[in-house]
Chains A and B, each alone.
Chain A
Amino acid sequence: MKDHATLAEAFIQDEARTNWHDETLWFVRQKRDKAAHGLPEWEQLREWASQIKNHTLSHMDSYLEEFERNALANGVQVHWASDAAEHNRIIHDIIKKKGITRIVKSKSMLTEECHLNHYLEEQGVEVVDTDLGERIVQFRHEPPSHIVLPAIHLKKQDVSDTFHEYLHTEKGNNDPTYLTRAARVHLREKFIASELAITGVNFAVAETGGFVVCTNEGNADMGTHAANVHIACMGFEKLIPKASHLSVFLRLLARSATGQPVTTYSSHFHKPKPGQEMHIVIVDNGRSNILGKADFRNALKCIRCAACFNTCPVYRRSGGFSYHTAVAGPIGSILNPNFDPKKYADLPFASSLCGSCSNVCPVKIDIHDQLWKWRQELTKAGHVPLMKKIMMKGMAFVLGRPALYRFSGASARWVLRYMPFMVKFKINPWYKQREMPAPPKQSFREWYIQNKKK
């Protein structure tokens, strides 16, 4: 398994593309700022969202019971899955029982987390992803690289090549409108023919037993209203107590994600249409375990807006695939070690701990604090490479001894000035793709001693 640093190194080989990725996501972050600053109550909204989520987490059992009771009364079938395997099995059973072959799916990070598509493929069942970005990456046999912008790692010529191959569009026609129209024709055929639609859930409401799905494209609605079976999949943390709470979250979600005032469609599902079957699969898959960890349970408040991705200097310059997981970025870096601390031990280190993620998070998750706490946990558990451990120990040794620290600083400045070749070689990781800084004439301490009496 390649770690974040190794995968990022491959991503940044193409400098122009890396810069485009960086600037485009920063542009999305700026749109988010503009939308947030348009509301004087923005910080208050974040606080309300955070408090509602904290309250819900602390009463999760009773709200889940309330939700289940109301959903059943609405004529919806409720399933419970302890883990990813059970989630996938439940869905496959419904498909098998009905002999269904035509399946469409709108975006659901949970089904990515559970690797549903892959599982169903192995059972001989094909699922068509209908979000445009997800369809593009599905054609290319790639996972999404961003939870809101699944194909953000691709340029339009890549999409054009892919569509030429699969949809027989004109070779070399890179016009986004032309390509989107081609996908529209292709996917509308799939919607019309679909027998079963799978969606995610953005919010589930305990007091009504309903759930809300948000899209801009309308793909969730095209699928669910055309098909005679609808399966909605949710991690149990998607629950909120009341319908009135939706206002707080819908005001935050799209503004945080893309800077839009709201997504084009915020669809509220309560009952199946006549003749339709509606299923909800409620998944644990490690979440109840996170709920028990005081330092990390806050991450369960996440509404998957990806604001933390777009602001993160490391994500923007390393791309989603470097995180080797369905949910990348800062939030993925604190969620995934819960599921598999060994496999994801590199992720909490893929951060500068600048704290920007926590500042933009609409539900006030302490993301950068958790990244820092995870580093300690993972080091204690022995999941951190020996070299990193030795370097940290060495660092601590030097920092704990003022005389040695002063000597080291002076030596480093001397080396940079007189023997730069000593640090400008490939083994020094700080020299990779970077220029070494010009050595300062004196240390801060020297400057301070010289200036404090003036």
Chain B
Amino acid sequence: MSSRDQIFSAIRKNKPAAVPGVTPDLSVVIGYPDLLSQFSTVLTAIGGSCREVASAEDAKQFIASLDKGTFVIDTTAEHPSGLAQLSPAALASVDTAIIRGGVAVAENGSIWVTENEMVNRLLPFIAQQLILIINEKDLVPTMHQAYERISINETGFGVFIAGPSKTADIEQSLVIGAHGPCGMVAVIVRES
């Protein structure tokens, strides 16, 4: 008998009597009077920063005003052809990555980003700084509404990103910038 069959037969023999499933009743879940201010407060508290702009044009101007270093990859605009195949060694010198984000979650400051938008899966993690552009209308109160809005298997890889990479593994001292971005900015566009 293969290990697979062994495992299945042991599970079938030992599993408890059927227990019914549960569908969370979202009416008891927390809501926020002002999603944008909640999102911004949380993201700032976890080491990110947040900028609200009126239009896509304003977003462009604001991003242009930021110090982004020399090697910038902007997947929302024209980007190097073959970005998907770019080697980790080449990506390691990216100073700033600019990527469009999807649904954004007020309770925890996280933003859903899929493979379609990042083009290269390594990009949002290996860049020294990450800028995510989102629409205000994509703000939801909690993870429950976020999962209602997305299909997690729409692409081969998707991630909720909440702020810059960080660690507290040395004596519980928080250090921003573990392996990935040392800075993370969310640009929130009011109209779209």
Alpha-carbon distance between A51 and B25 when the two chains are bound, in angstroms:
13
Alpha-carbon distance between A15 and B46 when the two chains are bound, in angstroms:
33
State how many residues of chain B have any CB contact under 8 Å with chain A: 74
On chain A, the residues within 8 Å of B175 by CB distance are 176-177, 180
Instruction: Tell whether, in the assembled complex, residue B156 and residue A263 are in contact, meaning their CB atoms are under 8 Å apart.
Output: no
Chain A, residues 47-87, CB within 8 Å of chain B (1/0): the string is 01001101101111100110000000010000011100010
Alpha-carbon distance between A262 and B84 when the two chains are bound, in angstroms:
28
A133 within 8 A of B: yes
Among B144, B152, B157, B165, contact of A208 (Cβ-Cβ < 8 Å): B152
Known contacts A40-B30, A247-B143: A289-B14 contact under CB 8 Å: yes
On chain A, the residues within 8 Å of B168 by CB distance are 149, 258
Alpha-carbon distance between A192 and B179 when the two chains are bound, in angstroms:
11
B148, chain A: closest CB distance, angstroms? 7
Residue among B126, B166, B175 with the highest chain A CB neighbour number at 10 A: B175
Instruction: Tell whether, in the assembled complex, residue B162 and residue A82 are in contact, meaning their CB atoms are under 8 Å apart.
Output: no
A228, chain B: closest CB distance, angstroms? 10
Instruction: Tell whether, in the assembled complex, residue A132 and residue B167 are in contact, meaning their CB atoms are under 8 Å apart.
Output: yes
Alpha-carbon distance between A291 and B158 when the two chains are bound, in angstroms:
32
Instruction: Tell whether, in the assembled complex, residue B148 and residue A244 are in contact, meaning their CB atoms are under 8 Å apart.
Output: yes
Instruction: Tell whether, in the assembled complex, residue B162 and residue A264 are in contact, meaning their CB atoms are under 8 Å apart.
Output: yes
A219, chain B: closest CB distance, angstroms? 5
Alpha-carbon distance between A265 and B157 when the two chains are bound, in angstroms:
12
Alpha-carbon distance between A184 and B176 when the two chains are bound, in angstroms:
11
On chain A, the residues within 8 Å of B105 by CB distance are 262
Alpha-carbon distance between A51 and B153 when the two chains are bound, in angstroms:
25
Q: For residue A179, which residue of chain B has the nearest CB?
A: B170
Instruction: Tell whether, in the assembled complex, residue A192 and residue B92 are in contact, meaning their CB atoms are under 8 Å apart.
Output: yes
Alpha-carbon distance between A226 and B143 when the two chains are bound, in angstroms:
28
B107 within 8 A of A: yes
On chain A, the residues within 8 Å of B13 by CB distance are 292
B87, chain A: closest CB distance, angstroms? 8
Interface size class of A (residues with CB under 8 A): 35 or more
Known contacts A225-B121, A246-B147, A265-B160: A41-B30 contact under CB 8 Å: yes
Instruction: Tell whether, in the assembled complex, residue A58 and residue B19 are in contact, meaning their CB atoms are under 8 Å apart.
Output: yes
Among A27, A151, A271, contact of B170 (Cβ-Cβ < 8 Å): A151
Within 8 A of B (CB), among A135-194: 136, 149-152, 154-156, 159, 176-177, 179-181, 184, 187-188, 191-192
Alpha-carbon distance between A284 and B5 when the two chains are bound, in angstroms:
12
B46, chain A: closest CB distance, angstroms? 7
Residue among B92, B144, B168 with the highest chain A CB neighbour number at 10 A: B168
Instruction: Tell whether, in the assembled complex, residue B167 and residue A180 are in contact, meaning their CB atoms are under 8 Å apart.
Output: yes
Instruction: Tell whether, in the assembled complex, residue B171 and residue A265 are in contact, meaning their CB atoms are under 8 Å apart.
Output: no
Alpha-carbon distance between A156 and B89 when the two chains are bound, in angstroms:
31
On chain A, the residues within 8 Å of B160 by CB distance are 250, 262, 265-266
Within 8 A of B (CB), among A234-254: 236, 241, 243-244, 246-248, 250-251
Among B11, B17, B108, B159, contact of A61 (Cβ-Cβ < 8 Å): B11
Alpha-carbon distance between A179 and B2 when the two chains are bound, in angstroms:
48
Chain B, residues 131-152, CB within 8 Å of chain A (1/0): the string is 0000000000011101110011
Instruction: Tell whether, in the assembled complex, residue B10 and residue A289 are in contact, meaning their CB atoms are under 8 Å apart.
Output: yes
Instruction: Tell whether, in the assembled complex, residue A176 and residue B21 are in contact, meaning their CB atoms are under 8 Å apart.
Output: no
Instruction: Tell whether, in the assembled complex, residue A261 and residue B178 are in contact, meaning their CB atoms are under 8 Å apart.
Output: no
A449, chain B: closest CB distance, angstroms? 50
Known contacts A51-B22, A218-B179, A244-B147: A80-B11 contact under CB 8 Å: no
On chain B, the residues within 8 Å of A247 by CB distance are 24, 142-144, 146-147
Q: For residue A243, which residue of chain B has the nearest CB?
A: B152
A411 within 8 A of B: no
Known contacts A222-B179, A262-B160, A289-B10: A132-B170 contact under CB 8 Å: yes
A307 within 8 A of B: no
Q: For residue B184, which residue of chain A has the nearest CB?
A: A264
Instruction: Tell whether, in the assembled complex, residue B166 and residue A261 are in contact, meaning their CB atoms are under 8 Å apart.
Output: no
On chain A, the residues within 8 Å of B142 by CB distance are 247, 251
Alpha-carbon distance between A41 and B24 when the two chains are bound, in angstroms:
11
B66 within 8 A of A: no
On chain B, the residues within 8 Å of A205 by CB distance are 152
Known contacts A150-B169, A264-B166: A270-B14 contact under CB 8 Å: no
B122 within 8 A of A: yes
Known contacts A82-B3, A208-B152, A244-B147: A226-B162 contact under CB 8 Å: no
B85, chain A: closest CB distance, angstroms? 8
B54 within 8 A of A: no
A379 within 8 A of B: no
B102 within 8 A of A: no
Within 8 A of A (CB), among B50-70: none
Among B18, B146, B166, contact of A58 (Cβ-Cβ < 8 Å): B18
* Residues on B facing A (Cβ under 8 Å): 2-4, 6-8, 10-22, 24, 28-30, 42, 46, 84, 88-89, 92, 105, 107-110, 115, 120-122, 125-126, 142-144, 146-148, 151-153, 155-173, 175, 177-181
Selected A-B contacts with CB under 8 Å, 16 pairs: A48-B24, A55-B19, A55-B22, A132-B169, A180-B169, A180-B170, A187-B179, A205-B152, A222-B122, A225-B122, A226-B88, A247-B24, A262-B105, A262-B109, A267-B159, A270-B155
Report the 5 A-B pairs with minimum CB-CB distance, sorted nearest first: A292-B14, A271-B156, A218-B180, A261-B108, A217-B178
Beyond A48-B22, A219-B179, A221-B125: 10 further Cβ-contacts under 8 Å?
A61-B12, A136-B169, A205-B152, A246-B147, A261-B109, A264-B46, A267-B159, A270-B156, A291-B10, A294-B16
